[in-house]
């Protein structure tokens, strides 16, 4: 049985026991012209080479968490609108998990899922462009669900740690995929505006004076907005500046 067959009309839902990385698997298959339709979901019970943003590893205990990738084909977007996909995915995860986790849930710019000051999940989007044309987006999502031991990972958390009960991974996956489908169609049919509002409302640290690390220098500032292209806009005593990913980070 395939409960996901209607997701974005994707024909495939593939579960792999152990794989290097679901993103790598999907990209490799696509490079060999695998006929994967939009909405194809690759889920792994275990990843031994899970990847995060900026070359980080994504560690996840075998069988405990959600590690999956979804194929999108956002050919209706211009490559300069790439950040819209980040927004769609963040908002979709936020809305799917909000009934469980409530007010403490937040989106940490550009695309981490936080509860309070701890990281619950991350997203790694890899776009496949051909010349000026945007062909495919491999959207990798890792959500900590039932893992309890995060020794070595200083600010990670899981749903089980927060809610003291186990969750069935495929049930959560289904809710997440439905939410992604909904938000993706919202982008397609109504544009980005409303999704952008939810993204900003959920933004971790918005309008709070916080310490940031700017190339090794610690400074106080206040996130005031996120630009359409995804740059973070931070105010320092009345002077605002824009940052790309990796140019600025919170000091916890």
Interface residues with ligand BTN (CB under 6 A) are 21-23, 47, 50-53, 56, 58, 67-69, 112, 122-124, 140-142
Half-sphere exposure of 152 (CA within 13 A, CB side): 5
Instruction: Please enumerate in sequence order all residues whose Cβ is within 8 A of that of 152, keeping only pairs 6 or more positions apart, or say none.
Output: none
Quote the least distance from Cβ 140 to ligand BTN, whole Å: 3
Report H helices in 192-240. 193-201
- Of the two residues 67 and 146, which places its CB atom closer to ligand BTN in the complex? 67
- Of the two residues 138 and 198, which places its CB atom closer to ligand BTN in the complex? 138
Quote the least distance from Cβ 159 to ligand BTN, whole Å: 15
Quote the least distance from Cβ 90 to ligand BTN, whole Å: 12
- Of the two residues 74 and 140, which places its CB atom closer to ligand BTN in the complex? 140
Q: Output the residue with the shortest Cβ distance to ligand BTN.
A: 122
Quote the least distance from Cβ 73 to ligand BTN, whole Å: 18
Nearest-CA neighbor of 7 among 138, 125, 177?
Answer: 177
- Of the two residues 23 and 84, which places its CB atom closer to ligand BTN in the complex? 23
Quote the least distance from Cβ 41 to ligand BTN, whole Å: 11
- Of the two residues 16 and 214, which places its CB atom closer to ligand BTN in the complex? 16
- Contact of 183 with 70, CB cutoff 8 Å: no
Instruction: Please enumerate in sequence order all residues whose Cβ is within 8 A of that of 174, keeping only pairs 6 or more positions apart, or say none.
Output: 3, 4
Q: C-alpha 74: how far from its chain's center?
A: 16
Q: How far is CA 227 from CA 53, 197, 243, 246, in A?
A: 20, 12, 10, 16
Beta bridge partners of 221: 210
- Contact of 169 with 176, CB cutoff 8 Å: no
Quote the least distance from Cβ 138 to ligand BTN, whole Å: 8
- Of the two residues 124 and 223, which places its CB atom closer to ligand BTN in the complex? 124
């Amino acid at each position: 049985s395939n409960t996901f067959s209607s997701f974005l009309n994707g024909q495939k839902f593939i579960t792999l026991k152990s794989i290097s990385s679901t993103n790598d698997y999907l990209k490799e298959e696509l490079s060999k012209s695998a006929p994967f339709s939009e909405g194809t979901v690759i889920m792994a019970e275990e990843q031994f080479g899970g990847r995060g943003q900026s070359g980080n590893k994504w560690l996840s205990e075998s069988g405990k968490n959600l590690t999956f990738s979804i194929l999108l084909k956002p050919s209706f977007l211009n490559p300069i609108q790439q950040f819209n996909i980040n927004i769609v995915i963040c908002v979709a995860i936020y809305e799917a998990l909000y009934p469980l986790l409530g007010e403490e849930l937040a989106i940490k710019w550009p695309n981490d899922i936080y509860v309070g000051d701890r990281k619950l999940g991350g997203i790694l989007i890899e776009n496949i462009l051909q010349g000026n044309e945007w062909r495919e987006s491999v959207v990798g999502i890792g959500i900590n669900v039932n893992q309890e031991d995060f020794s070595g990972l200083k600010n990670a958390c899981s749903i089980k740690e927060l809610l003291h009960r186990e969750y069935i991974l495929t049930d959560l996956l289904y809710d997440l995929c439905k939410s992604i489908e909904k938000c993706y169609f919202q982008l397609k049919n109504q544009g980005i505006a409303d999704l952008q509002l939810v993204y900003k409302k959920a933004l971790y640290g918005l309008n709070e004076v916080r310490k940031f690390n700017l190339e090794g220098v610690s400074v106080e500032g206040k996130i005031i907005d996120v630009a359409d292209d995804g740059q973070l806009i931070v105010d320092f005593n009345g002077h605002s500046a824009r940052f790309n990913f990796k140019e600025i980070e919170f000091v916890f």
